């Protein structure tokens, strides 16, 4: 029996894959625990999970309001200066305490929870990277050396302050022992990755229970259905996008499940073909759908493709444009504009992914690669070996 400590940020998309991996490890007789901001983890993780608090939950809503309108380099700078580096500083004392109390044999550190790698390195513990988005592996700053150096400088300052060995000797985003990537090369693209970079595909675990709140009886039998979701952090950004999707689908023979705050529809009643629900049980809903309209969040994209659902992707910021290009390159969907979304463009894209077989065939190719990658079982195998 070994002890595995998952160090994660307070973000659902980064926590959810670890739940399935931890469950697989527990079935094999190992002990597992999580470390991160306690209030958020208490909501995201299954009841009875062992949680060591590290860092403040903070006012994520306020932070997101300040970050929500930013794009490009401004959004990247905000992410590092206002979120990732402060989160690392806040979490390090709690991660230290968790290591002392739990005495893990292995630390699994999320790429955006830098404290996990730093504390593991300070204690000479084996550690693995949990990469819940594949954007970092497509060389996103290739051709932009100043941006790449600026990110490295943020990491270097943190390591000089806290780590035993400063940069550039190592990078807390990438373990030199094991990097678990919850995607596959069919989606990310063929590159020369080191042998310790392991593509396991998506790992699905239990989610907070809101399933009983969904109006399943409103799904019309025999009618094609699409889900429209901008993720948990981007819903408020859809005030213009959601009405455009509703209008674009008005004359199509489809039913739309719109995962959005109802108040963003200006209190107007939704048309008959639209079901508006702020939170949806996504994993339960996906088998009943024909396509997905998404912002390009890594988890939503991978979960959709795991069900062979083609996508219309409207990226907003951060890694989303990179994920959108992966979908297009894999032949599994179409990219549209988010900020300047036009009804005809949306109508054409939605019609195409529903009617043209090539997009579903592309989604099936990615689905097959996910199934072959092994998911949580493959991740647990590699962690045991570590």
Q: What is the pLDDT of residues 240-282, one digit of tens each?
A: 888 899 999 999 999 999 998 777 776 667 899 999 988 888 8
Q: Where in the chain is the domain with CATH 3.40.50.2000?
A: 3-177, 211-371
Cβ-contact 310, 289 below 8 angstroms: no
Any idea which architecture 211-371 has in CATH?
3-Layer(aba) Sandwich (3.40)
Over pLDDT 90: what percentage of the chain?
A: 65
For residue 173, count other CB atoms closer than 10 A to its CB.
Answer: 18
Q: What is the pLDDT of residues 81-119, one digit of tens each?
A: 888 999 999 999 999 999 999 999 999 999 999 999 999
Mean predicted lDDT score pLDDT of the chain: 89
- State which CATH number among 3.40.50.2000, 3.30.2130.10, 3.20.20.120, 3.50.30.30 fits the domain covering 3-177: 3.40.50.2000
Strand partners, 130: 110, 180
> What are the residues whose beta carbons fall under 8 Å from the beta carbon of 69, sequence distance 6 or more?
none
Does the model's pTM come out above 0.85?
Answer: yes
- Give pLDDT, residue 327: 96
Cβ-contact 290, 309 below 8 angstroms: yes
Burial of 144 (0-12, 13-18, 19+ CB in 10 A): exposed
Confidence of residue 347 (pLDDT cuts 50, 70, 90): very high
Confidence of residue 211 (pLDDT cuts 50, 70, 90): very low
């Amino acid at each position: 029996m070994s002890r595995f400590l998952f160090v994660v940020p307070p973000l659902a998309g980064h926590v959810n894959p670890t739940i399935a991996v931890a469950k697989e490890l527990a079935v094999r007789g190992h002990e597992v625990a999580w470390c991160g901001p306690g209030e958020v983890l208490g909501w995201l993780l299954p009841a009875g999970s062992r949680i060591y608090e590290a860092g403040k939950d903070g006012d994520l809503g306020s932070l997101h309001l300040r970050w929500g309108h930013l794009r490009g380099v401004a959004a990247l700078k905000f992410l590092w200066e206002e979120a990732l580096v402060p989160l690392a500083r806040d979490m390090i004392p709690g991660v230290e305490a968790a290591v002392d109390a739990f005495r893990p044999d292995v630390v699994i550190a999320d790429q955006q929870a830098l404290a996990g790698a730093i504390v593991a390195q300070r204690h000479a513990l084996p550690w693995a990277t949990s990469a819940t988005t594949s954007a970092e592996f497509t060389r996103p700053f290739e051709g932009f050396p100043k941006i790449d150096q600026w990110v490295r400088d943020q990491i270097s300052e943190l390591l000089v302050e806290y780590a035993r060995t400063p940069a550039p000797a190592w990078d807390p985003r990438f373990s030199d022992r094991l990097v678990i990537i919850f995607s596959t090369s069919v989606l990310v693209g063929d590159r020369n990755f080191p042998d310790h970079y392991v593509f396991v595909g998506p790992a699905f675990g239990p989610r907070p229970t809101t399933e009983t709140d969904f109006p399943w009886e409103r799904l019309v039998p025999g009618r094609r259905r699409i889900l429209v979701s901008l993720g948990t952090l981007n819903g408020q950004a859809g005030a213009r996008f959601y009405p455009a999707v509703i209008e674009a689908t008005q004359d199509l023979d489809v039913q739309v499940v719109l995962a959005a705050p109802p108040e963003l529809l200006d209190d107007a009643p939704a048309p008959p073909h639209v079901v508006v629900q702020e939170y949806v049980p996504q994993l339960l809903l996906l088998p009943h759908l024909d396509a997905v309209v998404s912002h390009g969040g890594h988890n939503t994209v991978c979960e959709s493709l795991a069900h062979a659902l083609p996508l219309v992707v409207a990226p907003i910021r951060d890694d989303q444009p990179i994920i959108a290009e992966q979908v297009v390159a894999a032949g599994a969907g179409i990219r549209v504009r988010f900020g300047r979304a036009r009804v005809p463009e949306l109508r054409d894209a939605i019609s195409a992914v529903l009617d043209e077989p090539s997009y579903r065939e592309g989604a099936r190719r990615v689905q097959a690669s996910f199934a072959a990658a092994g998911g949580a079982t493959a991740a647990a195998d590699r962690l045991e070996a570590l």
